[in-house]
Amino acid sequence: MSSSTRSANTSDRIDPMVWRVAVVVLIAPIMTQVDSTVVNVALSTIGQSLHASIASAQWIISGYLLAMALMLPLNGWLVDRVGAKRIYLACFAAFTLASLLCGAARTMDELICARIAQGLAGGVLTPMTQMMIARVAGKNMARAMGYVTVPILVAPVVGPVLAGAILAHATWPWLFYLNLPLGVLGVILAVRLLPRDTLAEHKRPFDFPGFLLISPGLVGVIYGLQNTSITLGKCTLVVGALFLCGFFFHSIRRGSASLIDVRIFRNRIFSVAAATQFCANGIMFGRQLLIPLYLITGCALSPAQAGWLISAIGVGMMCSFPLVGFLTDRYGCRVVSAGGAGLAFLGMLPFLWMIEHQFSPVWAALSLFAAGAGQGTINIPSITAAYSSIPKDRIPLANTALNIAQRLGAPIATTLLAMVMSLTTHATTNAEPQRFFVVFIVLTGFHLMTVGAASFLPLRIHRPAES
């Protein structure tokens, strides 16, 4: 083997430091994903045990999600000010302690408060995986993220099975106590394996007015979009949108001193990547809303039958994720991301035919597999393009902005789909499948928007110099 070949192979290898960081930071999203899925499955059981209504029990989920949205804008400032390792350790320990409090709760109010504490820690903890890998992976970012995302995909599949097993043989508090050994392990590994923090030379002062605008604004918009059927939801949505508009002008005026400098969206590549993430998250959650409703209420399948068909999405994603890094290195961000969005779009077309003609479980499974495989190749190339288009010292800021774009895609898409369904369908459990045609057209249109956004990603990426 020639020396040039050996050097090429060496340069293509992922640095062991990347693997060490990945092993540590993977524990957090796996823990939070499993935690979310087991709570969804056990919601009615917890409500009955604590003698609470489903409406009250729903705040176990809503309180957690809104608390996450409240803390998300702080991520970049905290990392710059305190350091990534310190923040990761503090939030991991706080999430683990909050899990203990969840299990120890004896009333619904106590459990909701403990879940809000979990969400406050999770709002800072969840975006850290992308950011910490982006900081150390360099040109191997796409491959590293492709590999480390596979275990995260397994978590939502394992969660419901684990919840069923625990509820069959133990009580619901053990759903939360499950986090304790993972949390202790994560803290120990983080102390030993994560690199030391390198703090910014010029620490930004805390932008308190900006925080008072963007965090309540995000909470208001997300809550309002999830509750548009009630007056409070509509009012909250309008107020939240006004707060976000106020933050936009505040950030333009303060520039780099702002909590999130919105001028980062002047970077064309970053803006396109954020738009792609927004659309990709929207179609993913849109499918999660629409496909089960169509299969169960439109095609009269049992929940178990629908669940087996829907699992084809996860199988498709798990098949495509390990290949994303290689494909991105070989063909570029634009080809892989837009190609994946195109495959997901093609996966929706058979549903339009089945709605008008005859349902086929084989075609449904193949279509959902294609949609999942396509979905699995959209995100990582666009994330790689976003982080590679900015200097390394701006990654914490970019991470926060990108995660906000991701989080807003889901409630906006699902709200629009729900509104279309309410306008074009009748409230009956024994519905004809044809009533889903218009809303599937809208979902297919969202897929085309994703193809369009991804088509503007760069073919090749080159990291700029430090700012």
Domain range annotation of the chain: 15-194, 207-258, 263-467
Q: For position 4, what pLDDT does the model report?
A: 46
pLDDT at 429 over 70: no
Report the CATH superfamily, name and number, of domain 263-467: MFS general substrate transporter like domains (1.20.1250.20)
- Give the DSSP letter of residue 204: P
Q: Tell me the per-residue pLDDT of 172-209, one tens digit each, with 9 for 90 and over.
A: 899 899 889 988 998 998 888 888 876 655 677 888 89
Q: Which CATH architecture group holds 15-194? A: Up-down Bundle (1.20)
Provide the phi-psi class of 72: left if phi over 0, else alpha when psi is between -120 and 50, else beta.
Answer: alpha
Burial of 18 (0-12, 13-18, 19+ CB in 10 A): buried
Task: Look at 416 and 441; give whichever has higher pLDDT.
Answer: 441
Query: Which helix (DSSP H) or strand (DSSP E) does residue 234 occupy?
Result: helix 231-254
Please enumerate in sequence order all residues whose Cβ is within 8 A of that of 437, keeping only pairs 6 or more positions apart, or say none. 352, 355, 356
**Measured between alpha carbons, how far is 121 from 368 in angstroms, rounded to an integer?**
34
Predicted model pTM? 0.76
Q: What angle (nearest 5°) sits at the alpha carbon of residue 191, between those of residues 188 and 195?
A: 140
Burial of 134 (0-12, 13-18, 19+ CB in 10 A): buried
Per-residue confidence at 9, pLDDT binned at 50, 70, 90? very low
Q: What angle (nearest 5°) sits at the alpha carbon of residue 28, between those of residues 27 and 31?
A: 80
Give the other-Cβ count within 10 Å of 458's Cβ: 17
Whether 15-194 shares its CATH topology with 263-467 is answered yes
Q: Tell me the per-residue pLDDT of 246-269, one tens digit each, with 9 for 90 and over.
A: 999 999 988 878 888 888 888 999
